[in-house]
Chains A and B, each alone.
Chain A
Amino acid sequence: MTTVNTKLNRRSFLKVSALAGGGMMLSFSWLAGCKPTEEEALGLPKEWFELNSYIKIGENGAVTLYSPNPEFGSNIKTSMPMILAEELDTDWKNVWVEQADFYPERFDRQFTGGSQGIRQGWTPLRTAGATARAMLVAAAAQSWNVPANEITTSAGILEHKASGKKAHYGEMASLAATLEIPEEVELKDISDFKIIGKSKKNVDGEKIVSGKPLFAIDHKVEGMKYAAIVHPPAFGMRLKSFDKSSVMGMPGIQDVFSINVFKDDYVQNFFDTTTFPEIVAIVGNSTWEVMQAKKNLVAEWEKAPETKFKMAGFGGNSMDVTVPSGLENTSSHKSRMAEFIKNPGTVVRKDGDPEGMFKKAAKVIERTYSAPFLAHNTMEPMNCFADVKGDKAVIYGPTQAPEFIMGTLSSSLGIPKENIQINLARMGGGFGRRAYSHHMVEAALISQKIQAPVKMVYTREDDMTDGVYRPTYSATYRAALDENNNLLALHVKAGGIPESPLHANRFPAGALDHYLAESWDISSNITIGAFRAPRSNFIAGAEQSFLDELAEEMGKDPIEFRLELLKRAETDPVGSNNDYDPKRYAGVLQLVKEKSNWNQAQSNVHRGVSAYFCHNSYVAEVVDTVIKDNKPVVESVYAAVDCGIVINPDSAANMGEGAIVDGIGNAFFGELAFNNGVPTKTNFDTYRMIRQKEAPKKIEVHFVESTENPTGLGEPLFPPVFAALANSLYKATGKRYYEQPIAPQLEMENLRM
């Protein structure tokens, strides 16, 4: 047992009733609880008793757990409450789960992204569960007049064996809710876990499969209007004027006006990335009518000048941001990147004497990898509901990061934060895109202007062309080999538009005496942001493809080669800033080797391996492809994962499978190009997404058994699959793939995709 101090996360213990006076406490009835199973489950109680911000218990013993973080599909709405339920020591079948709305006074870190939900929620959630349990035990001790340490709990039942007294949690809840919060509580031993580590079904599963309204786009209230937006046609352009009369006569159209997302004096924060700060809004009686009007709107656009603004950075520092003018092209991006690849970059890490080693090398291998901009393409397009009247605002929308948009909303609306309630909708996908929530500000400004509730919906074309994209990247790897094919030095020079993908202190840094890492970047007015495993989603593919080619050149098995490097990093690491644990890294390689029967590959099956560490978790993957009727088919993918304790194993496997499919899809097809600032793809007819036929026929996700604290899963399985696929395709076709997307190159080799 571990004792933890509850003062560490005191705000978790604010009771709902304590907040009701100050906040706007709205009850969203359609978000009301859903039961995981009907089997012998308790019905709704007559009264709830709040034990802390996360937990309320009914007089009949039913439990409601609040899931604090926004849900975008990683199933934290099930797994975070599982952690609470474990320490509360309740029966999962009597648990209702509700999505908490945005209450920074009550909850820590209501942010979904960076694969941090479970990792950072682990201790606060366990503590909240254990504290509620301790209060129930204290209530029983008081009622029964027995020492608290003689009372045991199990599945929602309190028991004092010596006196034969027994009660369910509901019987003690009203008294427990009045007790002082203990200063210290004991957490369970991992070996005593009954819920964590046992697969639980998605608490919203039934609602999803029966089409219940779960998403912001499904929301409707009496008197609600609908809005569409019209944004500049190209990056580097802005609104000059628009002709209101071009749409005002159209059926169902109520108003047309422009909105500015930011007030002039507003200092943007890091997540205030907004594609087009000024847009035109069309308001009307139905989605279809405003979408028709959108096509008819006559507007004039002009080239935007260079803009400069201050952006608040982390730790109170502010940055000067310059957005260049001009209409950018993919072809000119490529030629500018080619110049940067040739020139020296900024040295980010240097160990030993890499230049000297390259001079004396018998052989130098140099390869350059690249990948294009990517659009997130969440299935639910950007949208938001807002109801702004006078000095009060209710915003209900898909956001990964309510905390980062609250300040923007307050500034742009001129309404104090305490009068703004952000309610958290289930998101139809996020992938990083919804960490940037200017769609909420847009909807709020539209509602403020018309003083009525409104639902603003982007078309797919808006969503794809008004993006906060994954940047385009490049990485050049060089290896110096001696005459016996021993590796002398490694050099990586990586960059992108507008950011570098380099993580200079990650593997293989630390495993090599002579290592050089350089970085470069080129500014752009195309907006970029987090995309599932930012930077790692490119650099992993480049690095792990290069290591594969290097292993081949050195005559080594690709897994053994990596294990040798990791052994060096473990036993005699170079440098002190290496941000990975070589043992855990090697562990996933060993596990994937075993699970994929690496040494007994079948004939006609072409295998590629890759391993990567990011977002605190370790992953190795093996991809098997076969060529059938001139068509590359991904037959199997084996993944080995070390993310510490796994909360919800089947759901974790689902997340891993999805990340692998996503990676294979983006490796084969993902691409957004620009022509004079205009995105060249606007919908799924041209932007190719992976579909059922191209998905692997089998995926196995294996977890390393671990008692380490849990780390995240949303991202870590995504980056390594790019190289595992490319290395496998190399075996199948004899060609290395240095550029993404891969499918067009396969087609040149008469392989159909």
Chain B
Amino acid sequence: MALFNLNINGKSQQVDVDPATPVLWVLRDHLDLVGTKFGCGISQCGACTIHLDGNAVRSCQLPISAAEGAQITTIEGLSENGEHPVQQAWMEHDVPQCGYCQAGQIMTAAALLQRNPNPSDEEIENAMNGNICRCGTYLRIKAAVKTASQKL
């Protein structure tokens, strides 16, 4: 066990956990930020996507020891009340079915638009390819990313 000072969604947080604990489980079990989801544990599905200094990363294999000093943003911190353009576009296109993967999809999309505000179809497909949606809402996801890009 060790103490870690973290910056999560603009707030300083301290946790006392095994240094190998992935950020995903620190968020979910220790800090009650459960919007970030567990899907596969091996960075293959993208359900656990968060922002680390603005970049989309998979939190399920990121040890907490590697996250100290970085700005962590989770779905809960993307906006106060779901007013981020990506979240708004997700609602406008009524994207979710079961909804489980969508926080990860939204975090990946928000990071994409941050570095590339006007992505082409191919760029969207490439950026979003790491996020599995078992319900198959891919077309709406793509349409929502385009809508969000127009509103940014």
Interface on A for B, CB 8 Å cutoff?
A: 72-75, 199, 201-202, 204-206, 208-215, 217-218, 220, 226, 251, 286-289, 291, 377-381, 426-431, 457, 459-460, 650-651, 654-655, 657-662, 665, 683-685, 689-693, 695-699
Contacts of B134 in A (CB 8 A): 377-379, 429, 431, 662, 689
Query: Measured between alpha carbons, how far is A493 from B4 in the docked complex, in Å?
Result: 64
A699–B139 CB distance below 8 A: yes
Selected from B82, B99, B135, the residue in CB contact (under 8 A) with A426 is B99
The closest CB in chain B to the CB of A75 belongs to B97
A201–B136 CB distance below 8 A: no
With contact pairs A73-B98, A208-B99, A226-B29 given, residues A692 and B138 touching in the complex (Cβ less than 8 Å): yes
Selected from A210, A380, A650, the residue in CB contact (under 8 A) with B98 is A380
Query: Measured between alpha carbons, how far is A695 from B38 in the docked complex, in Å?
Result: 23
Contacts of B97 in A (CB 8 A): 73-75, 654-655, 658
Contacts of B91 in A (CB 8 A): 201, 205-206, 209
Contact with A along B39-56 (1 / 0, CB 8 A): 111101101000000000
A288–B129 CB distance below 8 A: no
Categorize the interface residue count of chain B: 35 or more
Selected from B42, B132, B137, the residue in CB contact (under 8 A) with A689 is B132
| B120 close to chain A: CB less than 8 A | no
The closest CB in chain B to the CB of A206 belongs to B82
A286–B30 CB distance below 8 A: yes
Query: Measured between alpha carbons, how far is A55 from B34 in the docked complex, in Å?
Result: 31
The closest CB in chain A to the CB of B128 belongs to A692
| B68 close to chain A: CB less than 8 A | no
**Shortest beta-carbon distance, A291 to chain B, in Å?**
8
**Shortest beta-carbon distance, B52 to chain A, in Å?**
17
Query: Measured between alpha carbons, how far is A213 from B33 in the docked complex, in Å?
Result: 9
**Residue among A288, A291, A651 facing the most chain B CB atoms (10 A cut-off):** A288
| B8 close to chain A: CB less than 8 A | no
A73–B99 CB distance below 8 A: yes
Which residues 100-140 in B have Cβ within 8 Å of A in the complex? 100-103, 106, 121, 124-126, 128-140
With contact pairs A210-B81, A288-B18 given, residues A205 and B96 touching in the complex (Cβ less than 8 Å): yes
Selected from A286, A657, A693, the residue in CB contact (under 8 A) with B140 is A657
With contact pairs A210-B35, A226-B29, A287-B29 given, residues A428 and B98 touching in the complex (Cβ less than 8 Å): yes
Contacts of B87 in A (CB 8 A): 209-210
Contacts of A210 in B (CB 8 A): 35, 75-76, 78-79, 81-82, 87
Query: Measured between alpha carbons, how far is A659 from B38 in the docked complex, in Å?
Result: 23
The closest CB in chain B to the CB of A376 belongs to B134
| B28 close to chain A: CB less than 8 A | yes
21 pairs of residues in contact across A and B, judged by CB atoms under 8 Å? A205-B90, A210-B81, A210-B87, A211-B74, A213-B35, A217-B34, A288-B18, A379-B47, A379-B135, A381-B39, A428-B37, A428-B98, A431-B134, A457-B38, A459-B41, A460-B40, A660-B136, A683-B41, A689-B132, A693-B126, A693-B129
With contact pairs A210-B87, A211-B75, A211-B103 given, residues A217 and B94 touching in the complex (Cβ less than 8 Å): no
Contacts of A215 in B (CB 8 A): 100
**Shortest beta-carbon distance, B6 to chain A, in Å?**
16
A428–B99 CB distance below 8 A: yes
Selected from A378, A654, A696, the residue in CB contact (under 8 A) with B94 is A654
**Shortest beta-carbon distance, A76 to chain B, in Å?**
11
The closest CB in chain A to the CB of B96 belongs to A208
What are the nearest 6 A-B pairs in CB distance?
A: A211-B35, A661-B136, A428-B100, A73-B98, A211-B75, A73-B97
B98–A683 CB distance below 8 A: no
Query: Measured between alpha carbons, how far is A658 from B98 in the docked complex, in Å?
Result: 11
With contact pairs A209-B90, A457-B38 given, residues A662 and B135 touching in the complex (Cβ less than 8 Å): yes
Contacts of A202 in B (CB 8 A): 94, 96
The closest CB in chain B to the CB of A199 belongs to B94
The closest CB in chain B to the CB of A690 belongs to B136
**Shortest beta-carbon distance, A509 to chain B, in Å?**
31
Contacts of A692 in B (CB 8 A): 124-125, 128-129, 131, 138, 141-142
Contacts of B90 in A (CB 8 A): 205, 208-209
| B149 close to chain A: CB less than 8 A | no
Query: Measured between alpha carbons, how far is A206 from B135 in the docked complex, in Å?
Result: 18
Query: Measured between alpha carbons, how far is A73 from B97 in the docked complex, in Å?
Result: 4
For chain B, what secondary structure do more than half of its interface residues adopt (helix, strand, loop), or is it mixed?
A: loop
The closest CB in chain B to the CB of A699 belongs to B139
| B21 close to chain A: CB less than 8 A | yes
Selected from B37, B94, B124, the residue in CB contact (under 8 A) with A650 is B94
A658–B29 CB distance below 8 A: no
Query: Measured between alpha carbons, how far is A428 from B103 in the docked complex, in Å?
Result: 12
B138–A379 CB distance below 8 A: no
Contacts of A696 in B (CB 8 A): 139
**Shortest beta-carbon distance, A204 to chain B, in Å?**
7
The closest CB in chain B to the CB of A383 belongs to B38
Contacts of B95 in A (CB 8 A): 654
Contact with A along B9-39 (1 / 0, CB 8 A): 0000000011001100100111011111111
Query: Measured between alpha carbons, how far is A251 from B19 in the docked complex, in Å?
Result: 12
Query: Measured between alpha carbons, how far is A145 from B1 in the docked complex, in Å?
Result: 74
Selected from A288, A651, A690, the residue in CB contact (under 8 A) with B25 is A288
Query: Measured between alpha carbons, how far is A575 from B32 in the docked complex, in Å?
Result: 62
B40–A695 CB distance below 8 A: no
Query: Measured between alpha carbons, how far is A209 from B99 in the docked complex, in Å?
Result: 8
A217–B138 CB distance below 8 A: no
A658–B136 CB distance below 8 A: yes
Contacts of B81 in A (CB 8 A): 206, 210
Query: Measured between alpha carbons, how far is A289 from B96 in the docked complex, in Å?
Result: 32
B98–A661 CB distance below 8 A: no
Contact with A along B61-84 (1 / 0, CB 8 A): 000000000000011101101100
**Shortest beta-carbon distance, B108 to chain A, in Å?**
10
A251–B94 CB distance below 8 A: no
The closest CB in chain B to the CB of A696 belongs to B139
**Shortest beta-carbon distance, A225 to chain B, in Å?**
11
Query: Measured between alpha carbons, how far is A684 from B30 in the docked complex, in Å?
Result: 27
B139–A698 CB distance below 8 A: yes
Contacts of A218 in B (CB 8 A): 28, 34
**Shortest beta-carbon distance, A489 to chain B, in Å?**
38
Contacts of B34 in A (CB 8 A): 211, 213, 217-218, 220
Query: Measured between alpha carbons, how far is A209 from B124 in the docked complex, in Å?
Result: 19
The closest CB in chain B to the CB of A455 belongs to B29
Contacts of B131 in A (CB 8 A): 691-692
With contact pairs A201-B91, A379-B39 given, residues A684 and B100 touching in the complex (Cβ less than 8 Å): no
Query: Measured between alpha carbons, how far is A699 from B142 in the docked complex, in Å?
Result: 13
Query: Measured between alpha carbons, how far is A220 from B140 in the docked complex, in Å?
Result: 32
B99–A214 CB distance below 8 A: yes
**Shortest beta-carbon distance, B60 to chain A, in Å?**
10
The closest CB in chain B to the CB of A661 belongs to B136
With contact pairs A379-B100, A654-B140 given, residues A460 and B41 touching in the complex (Cβ less than 8 Å): yes
With contact pairs A657-B137, A662-B136, A692-B142 given, residues A288 and B94 touching in the complex (Cβ less than 8 Å): no
A654–B102 CB distance below 8 A: no
B128–A209 CB distance below 8 A: no
A217–B38 CB distance below 8 A: yes
**Residue among B33, B35, B78, B101 facing the most chain A CB atoms (10 A cut-off):** B35
Contacts of B137 in A (CB 8 A): 654, 657-658, 661
The closest CB in chain B to the CB of A689 belongs to B132
Query: Measured between alpha carbons, how far is A651 from B96 in the docked complex, in Å?
Result: 10
Contacts of B98 in A (CB 8 A): 72-73, 378-380, 426-430
A657–B139 CB distance below 8 A: yes
Query: Measured between alpha carbons, how far is A689 from B38 in the docked complex, in Å?
Result: 17
Contacts of B35 in A (CB 8 A): 210-213
**Shortest beta-carbon distance, B9 to chain A, in Å?**
11
Selected from B38, B124, B136, the residue in CB contact (under 8 A) with A665 is B136
A205–B94 CB distance below 8 A: yes
**Shortest beta-carbon distance, A128 to chain B, in Å?**
26
Query: Measured between alpha carbons, how far is A129 from B46 in the docked complex, in Å?
Result: 42
B21–A684 CB distance below 8 A: no
The closest CB in chain B to the CB of A213 belongs to B34
Query: Measured between alpha carbons, how far is A460 from B51 in the docked complex, in Å?
Result: 23
**Shortest beta-carbon distance, A379 to chain B, in Å?**
4
